[in-house]
Amino acid sequence: MIGVGPEAQPIAALATGSGAAAVAVIRLSGHSCHQLLLPCLNWADRWQARQLRVATISDPRTGEHLDDAMVVLFGGPKSFTGEDSAEIQCHGGPYIIRRILELLFRQGFRPAEPGEFTRRAFLNGKLDLTAAEGIKALVEAQSHQQWLAARHLTEGKLKSAIENLRRLLVEALAYLAAQIDFPDEGDTAHVDLVPVRERVLEAVNAITSLIGSYDDGRVASQGLTVALFGAPNAGKSTLMNTLLGRERAIVTPIAGTTRDYLEESCLIDGRLIRLIDMAGVRASQDPVEAMGVEKARQLAREADLVLFLVASDQTESPEAQLAAWTGELLPRSHLCIATKADLSAPTWARSPNWIQISCQSGTGIRELSLALARQVDLHVGNLAAEHAYVTSARQHHALRNALEGLNKFNLADADGAYVELLAFELQESVKALRTIVGEIDTEDVLDKVFSQFCVGK
């Protein structure tokens, strides 16, 4: 575990990207950070905390001048990490960066681990775990939808919702505690459970709403999962290559070429989409292909959107086939795509229920792209609102655990259980809520969260 407080070991890392650049930023933090750094700096004028100043970086042992830089010092606890810290803005040449880092390591700093600066900020109470997850999401955001989801976390909307839930349950526990601690007192011997039940019901409704927000929050943070579903040679792999703008999937005229699935992400009209190309759906005696078909059906059931692809050179109306597919898969939503429009335009494909496309001529690709963007917006459109959204599987799992505790409370209450058992179930729910903001997260959970960060953040 990373040290907390004044004894935290000093760390240093490059905070900007590797490779040549005009400017690079090196971050430092930890106990004795300033004492270790100052001997390496010759200030152009008197330095002051929290003010960016010009300084010459030199090796204190040899006096060798390494670079002219801009340096700012921050005193803990008024810093991002809550510790004494500093940032060096130097020239972005790889050699210069390497020499400065080597100098810092000789001075007593050690290389920072991935996410260690943010982890120290969390451990020192500068931010909660949801805000830390939001910082990671901001760094990795590729689209407006991801930025919205990350901003919700960094602004504390989810934390505020969790704090309100905890307040409700703590108030309910206070009613129960009065009867547990003072069972013989006249004013507590017959504590009315109505206020407790009212607060539990309010918490159940709020948690249920948060759990229901996960689909929208997940799409915003991770992208809309789109399954390309259809018979062999319906044009699934070709469409995937077209939307990606590169040859990712193998395309041949041989039916059954794709047996496993491919998953790739791309931006379509600024929206993050996760495309899944799968085996063509048909009855097969080949055990490998049959496994691929079954996997395709499973992935389609789990997708946010299914594109049903039917080749336009199929003369027979596919309506019966589509009815069977939708009845079997029951996707949240689907679009019907008539591929190979350059080869044929059958009557069924001209229905307004179909989007006709040709990856060869480009016909309909723009229309399909707009339809995919609209599907994303259906999920993300409300993220600009003030209410909280759940964006990670970790948060979702904790909320389900909290709801389970409240459901157990209601069952025990209906059975006339002792007050002590009712209080236990409420305490379990509060404990689950606390894990969301990281107050009682175990070390392995923290390791998993922060190990996914980049070095220097």
Angstrom CA distances, 21 to 87, 140, 142, 226, stand at 17, 20, 21, 38
CA distances from 310 to 54, 96, 313, 369 (A): 65, 58, 9, 18
Domain boundaries, the chain: 5-127, 135-213+388-438, 223-382
Write down the pTM of the prediction. Answer: 0.82
213 φ, ψ to 5°?
A: -80, -5
How many percent of the chain have pLDDT more than 70?
Answer: 89
Outline where DSSP puts E strands in 94-193: 110-111
Domain with residues 5-127, CATH architecture: 2-Layer Sandwich (3.30)
Identical fold at 5-127 and 135-213+388-438? no
Give the DSSP H or E segment for 229. Answer: strand 224-230
- CB-CB contact of 93 with 18 (8 Å): no
Q: Which CATH architecture has domain 135-213+388-438?
A: Up-down Bundle (1.20)
Calpha distance 258→85 (Å, rounded): 53
Q: Over 80: is that where the pLDDT of 199 sits? A: yes
Q: What is the mean pLDDT of the chain?
A: 86
d(CA 407, CA 200): 9
Q: CA 210 to CA 216: how far, in whole Å?
A: 11
Instruction: Show the tokens assigned to 447.
Output: 């390791």
* Residue spans of alpha helices (H) in 278-348: 287-302, 319-329
What type of residue sits at position 324?
A: A
Could you report the per-residue pLDDT of 263-294, keeping only the tens digit for each?
A: 899 999 999 999 999 887 776 667 777 787 78
- What secondary structure letter does DSSP report for 280? P
Arithmetic mean of pLDDT, 406-414 = 94
CATH number of 223-382: 3.40.50.300
The pLDDT tens digits of the residues spanning 65-112 come to: 999 999 999 998 999 999 999 999 999 999 999 999 999 999 999 999
